[in-house]
Structure 1
Amino acid sequence: MKVAIMQPYFFPYIGYYQLMHEVDTFVIFDDANFIKKGWVHRNQILMDGEPHPFILPIQKMSQNKLISEHERALIEETVFKQIKQLRHAYHNAPYFEEAMPVLESCLTYPETNVAAYLSHGLIEVVRYLGIDSTILRTSDLQPNRELKGQERIIDYCQQLDATHYINAINGMSLYDQKSFQRVGIELSFLQSELPAYKQGTDTFHPYLSIIDCMMNCSIDEIHHMLHAYDLVTNRQTT
């Protein structure tokens, strides 16, 4: 069984969903430490032809607390602003009518806990995209708080009877092939190709939120993009 484990992000870019699509079970790492400069609470959309911040306000952000220990801030005024922002940015996009109800459903979800709120948003987008992977949260498993880093990931994989662990390419330096092989688990990394698509601009802007894909591409086009990646190992890149 192929497994991936990633922190929950706020409407992440398509590479995140490529990873979700590739595995049998995707585990949302909701009890990882919060990273202020990460993508848990922020992303970018295209507004007036340029990348623009799209933010999830959070109360008392701290890297000394878990993602699941954080709460949303300024909820009512933020959701109103976010929906207004998306309508301004994408009202002329070809798939606005199809995508906007899904995004509004995610944004207006009343959950205050950040991990639960982000997990719900990921699941709703996955349903829209037709990805059929099983989705769990690490808090649903049996976390061993004494384990750190790679050893904690291996423990989660063993709980799920994983035979193949796949991580995003930027995590390659964090994991050792031999440590996974020792417990009978294959280790690979997903290297996205990020295919260009029409954004209504002269210049293509990659790495934007999945929102931009949903607004500008059909489900069939996105399905094609979900396959645009390679799986590589540490050995292939050294």
Structure 2
Amino acid sequence: MTAPPPRRVAIMQPYLFPYLGYFQLIAAVDEFWLLDTVQFIQQGWMNRNALLVNGQRTLFTIPVNKRPRLDTIANKVYAPTATQECTRLVKTLSQSCAGAVHVETALSVVGAFAQHLERTPEPADFTTATETALKSCLDAIGLATPIRRISSLGLDDRRTGQDRIIAACQAIGARNYVNMIGGRDLYAAEAFSANGLGLRFLRPVLPNYDQGLAAFEPGLSILDVLAHVPPEGIRKMLDAAQIVEAPIEKSI
């Protein structure tokens, strides 16, 4: 029997060990699609995030190839030094989260990513490796949302922005599209409605958890959450996000 099309989907660029809100979006949909056909954002968050080191918010980066500078995500690869930076990340995580009850869970996720890089002939494809890391995080959390790629749909490359998302949703067979609330100015509910689609936005909510410090630092990499919170606790945190339906403006 053929599975029914997903009722609700999200489409986002692949991010390596992103913050909790990214996983709240994954948990809120039936299928999560990686937008790998758009430009890679240099010096952005796709291959970097933050941890607490000596109580200070500190960035970590797993390097990618630097040239060509303007390139699509599908063509991006991890740099030869990526495995070395994974080793550095493991050391940083071990030290910064030394007292965390579940630090081994976080370390195993980084370890699985490093093993993928080591076993893959260089250069390691950015999307494939990052998808592997995301799936490791989902397994650790106990979340089963399927992850797929927009590039597999064979869409017309001339479609951009909102038109690309609408075409993707139609190709997938989805009924509703969910985007982060920060992108609400990029999409018009009228355009989605005209194509038989609903448009909704997710407002992330980042609950406090014990980081072993007096003051809570929100928005760190999911690695920090995995180190300090058990899977059942993280799943409850995923449900804290709010889904907002986009209003359809009526012409006067």
Q: Name the TM-score class by shorter chain.
A: over 0.9
Q: What pairs with 1:68-217 in structure 2 (closer than 5 Å)?
A: 68-73=74-79, 74-110=81-117, 111=120, 112-217=124-229
Shift of 1:87: 1.3
Contact 1:34/1:62, CA 8 A, preserved across alignment: no
The count of aligned residue pairs is 236
2:10 partner amino acid: A
Gap runs ≥5 in structure 1: none
Contact 1:32–1:66, Cα closer than 8 Å, also in 2: yes
Question: Residues 59 and 9 (structure 1 numbering): CA distance in 2 closer, same or farther, change over 3 Å?
Answer: same
Deviation by residue 1:25-49 (Cα, 9 ceiling, x = unmatched): 1001122111114211110011111
Q: What's the counterpart of residue 5 of structure 1?
A: 11
1:34 to 40, 44, 47: 40
1:63, distance to aligned residue in structure 2 (A): 5.3
SS of equivalent residue, structure 2 residue 195: coil
SS at match of 1:35: coil
Distance in 1 separating the partners of 2:68 and 2:177: 29
SS of 2:207's partner is coil
What is the CA deviation profile of residues 178-235 of structure 1, one whole-angstrom value per residue up to 9, with x for unaligned ones?
0000011110000011111111111111110000100010111101100001111333
CA contact (8 A) 1:35 1:63 kept: no
Structure-2 separation of matches of 1:65 and 1:30: 11
For 2:71, the equivalent position in structure 1 comes to 65
Q: Structure 1: how far apart are the matches of 2:142 and 2:83?
A: 30
Length-normalised TM-score, structure 2: 0.89
Change (3 A) 1:194 1:76: closer
Q: Which residue of 2 is the match for residue 21 of structure 1?
A: 27
Which of 98-107 and 146-155 deviates more? Answer: 98-107
Q: Quick check: 69-78 or 177-186, which moved more? A: 69-78
Q: What amino acid does structure 1 have at the position aligned with 2:217?
A: H
**Contact kept? 1:36, 1:62, Cα under 8 Å:** no
Worse-superposed segment, 3-12 or 134-143? 134-143
One-letter identity of the residue aligned with 2:103: F
* Distance of 2:199 and 2:205 partners within structure 1: 20
TM-score under structure 1 normalisation?
A: 0.94
**Structure 2 counterparts to residues 221-236 of structure 1, below 5 A:** 221-235=233-247
SS, match of residue 173 in structure 2: coil
Question: What SS does the corresponding residue of 1:166 show, helix, strand or coil?
Answer: strand
SS across alignment from 1:235: coil
Does the 8 Å CA contact 2:64/2:82 hold for their aligned counterparts? no
Identity %: 33
Partner amino acid, structure 2, of 1:138: I
**Using the alignment, how far apart are the partners of 2:144 and 2:35 within structure 1?**
19
Residue type of the alignment partner of 1:192 = P
For residue 88 of structure 1, give the secondary structure of its aligned residue in structure 2.
helix
1:115 Cα offset (Å): 1.4
Q: Out of 36-45 and 211-220, give the one that drifted further.
A: 36-45
SS at match of 2:116: coil
**Which sections of structure 2, spanning at least 5 residues, go unmatched?**
1-6
- Structure 1 segments, 4+ long, off by >6 Å, are none
